[in-house]
Amino acid sequence: MYASVPIIAIVNPSNGPGGSQDPNFVSGIQLLRSAGITVIGYVPTGYGSVPTSVIDQEIYSYTQMYQLNGIFFDQMANVPGFESYYAGLTAYAKSLGYTMTVGNPGSWVPPSYIGTVDNIVIYENSGLPSDGFLSALGYQRSDFSVMSYGDSSLDTNYVLRASASIGYLYITDGNWPSPYTALPTYFLPLFSTLSGIDSSSVSLTVDSVDMTGNPISGLWTVLQTGGNVVQSGFSPETFSVTSGDQYQVTVSNYASYVFDHWGDGSTSNTESLTASGPTTLVAYYRSTSDVSVSVNSFVTALRFLDFGDRSI
């Protein structure tokens, strides 16, 4: 029904491949692969503490017992120093014919980890990671995925926004400690939403700050292309745009806040750009109330001086 949605299924026979082949997994994996699903085998790495020889044996055992597409390295390290460890595991898996490796630290990792595996799960927790966290990733969205549990309902707008920053997303209403034992109750609506996403979309975030860089929220922002308004909202706002297309972003003044310049120094309140990847624009505002305070202080000072002169 949703053949356009790429799917990765993680199989875990026994906290790894186990000591013998399970016929139920054999038939299940075959059904998944025949449906075009990428199937990868679970291997825990103890955050880099498990010797590579042990992990290599686990990877090799999968090749002997099951027909898989790749390997899922759980408990991936997220501190500097283990990059070569995971790059080596990926290289070994690829030498055996696997086409995909996924690492799961469940949190952000230093940029030096990008490329050590094909995809990194940068969030695995209850609830959804913030829009700001996703839009600040700054790499190809195919580098990242998100796994979220304990979500009682599906936020389709969030799914659409997140798709601009990450390549894979799984959301479920299952709860810890066993959130993945059943499919979410909104499984089909999730796939329906994912099937409508243009794979060429990227994120465009517009932030507004004062002259010292402190965040300001609630300033009206309009996104246009070809002279037509396509999206609008209040800052900070993240739009989903098409890579390679040209856009114009216009920000407005409000109350005491007056636009001053963009982060690149441009003083026009309309900024033009061609989207090529996740992008963040920062609009700087000055406050007329600050000017008023300065003027009032200056007038008060003059009055004080004038009063002092007359008192002598």
Q: What is the pTM for the complete model shown?
A: 0.67
Rg (CA), the chain: 26
Residues 6+ apart with CB under 8 A from 185: 173
List the domain boundaries for the chain: 8-197, 202-288
Coil, helix or strand at residue 158: helix
Q: With a cut of 80, say whether residue 301 has pLDDT above it.
A: no
| 124-167 pLDDT per residue, tens | 999 999 988 988 887 878 899 999 999 999 999 999 889 888 98
CB atoms within 10 A of CB 11: 18
| 48-63 pLDDT per residue, tens | 999 999 999 999 999 9
Consecutive H or E run containing 25: helix 23-34
Single out the residue of 152, 63, 153, 44 nearest to residue 106, CA to CA. 44
Q: Does domain 202-288 have CATH number 2.60.320.10?
A: no
Single out the residue of 84, 63, 173, 68 nearest to residue 127, CA to CA. 173
What are the b/e assignments for 219-254, b being 16+ CB within 10 Å?
A: bebbbbeeeeebbeeebbbbbbbeeebebbbbbeeb
Q: What whole-number percentage of the chain has pLDDT above 70?
A: 91
In this structure, CATH architecture of domain 8-197:
Alpha-Beta Barrel (3.20)
